[in-house]
Structure 1
Amino acid sequence: MTKSKEKKREKISVASEIDRIEERRSLCQDSLERAEFRRRREELSEQDRQALEDEMTIMTERIQKYECELEMLRGENRRNMLLSVALLAISVLLYYALIN
């Protein structure tokens, strides 16, 4: 990945990145469903059927890739949340320790 893409990606929050990838996954899922419907309903030549199968394979691979990315991002989001909760707990403990 180029440096400009890495810098741009760093500026995006994990939650917005999750939303973006979920939207892309949803679009791929819709495309896959349309292709499956077309394969079942239309009479296609062998060449068209093979092209449609190839397209469906590509969409399936993209969906799997997005699922892996989402799993990674959700794990990162959980870690960030736990870190925030831990920092809040430490802050509360220090606050009460310093007051008493």
Structure 2
Amino acid sequence: MAKMKDKKRENVSIASEIDRLEERRERCQDNLERAEFKSRKARLSEQERQELEKEMAIINERVQKLDKELAMLRGENRRNMVLSVALLTISALFYYVFFYNEDDT
């Protein structure tokens, strides 16, 4: 099952994967804000407060994990962009040298 998910992710562009992770991160942030609001406003028993704190810790860990994945994907996206610009520049240089320069002679 895990290999199937990896295969599906290979077919997804980096930009769409970044969008997907940002949406997941936003949902986690919303859940964290709701839990923090609940902990401040509601009168909770000690057990409920501990459960809420555990839930908040888990959500924080998820957010940190998503942040790391996003940083990695953004770095990969940046590297791909630089590679694309370099290839475009080389192509333009070859075009200039071989085609535009021929017209001058």
- Please indicate the TM-score interval, normalised by the length of the shorter structure: over 0.9
Q: Does 1:30 align with 2:30?
A: yes
Query: 1:59, 1:44 → 2: CA distance?
Result: 19
RMSD over aligned Cα atoms? 1.0
Rounded Cα–Cα distance in structure 2 between residues aligned with 1:78 and 1:91: 20
Cα distance between partner residues in 1 of 2:14 and 2:66: 14
- TM-score after normalising by structure 1: 0.96
Q: Which whole-Å deviations, capped at 9, do the CAs of 1:37-63 have from their partners, x for residues lacking one?
A: 000001001111111000000000000
Distance 1:2 1:46 in 2: 39
Residue number in structure 1 paired with 2:3: 3
Give how far 1:91 is off.
0.4
- Tell me how far apart the structure 1 counterparts of residues 45 and 3 of structure 2 sit (CA, whole Å): 46
Is 1:43 aligned to residue 43 of structure 2?
yes
- Count the aligned residue pairs: 100
Q: What is the CA–CA distance in structure 1 between the aligned matches of 2:75 and 2:43, rounded to whole Å?
A: 44
Structure whose alpha-carbon radius of gyration is higher: 2
2:93 aligned with 1:93: yes
| Structure 2: gaps (5+ residues) | none
User: Aligned residue for 2:84?
Assistant: 84
Q: Percent identity?
A: 67
Name the structure 2 match of 1:54: 54
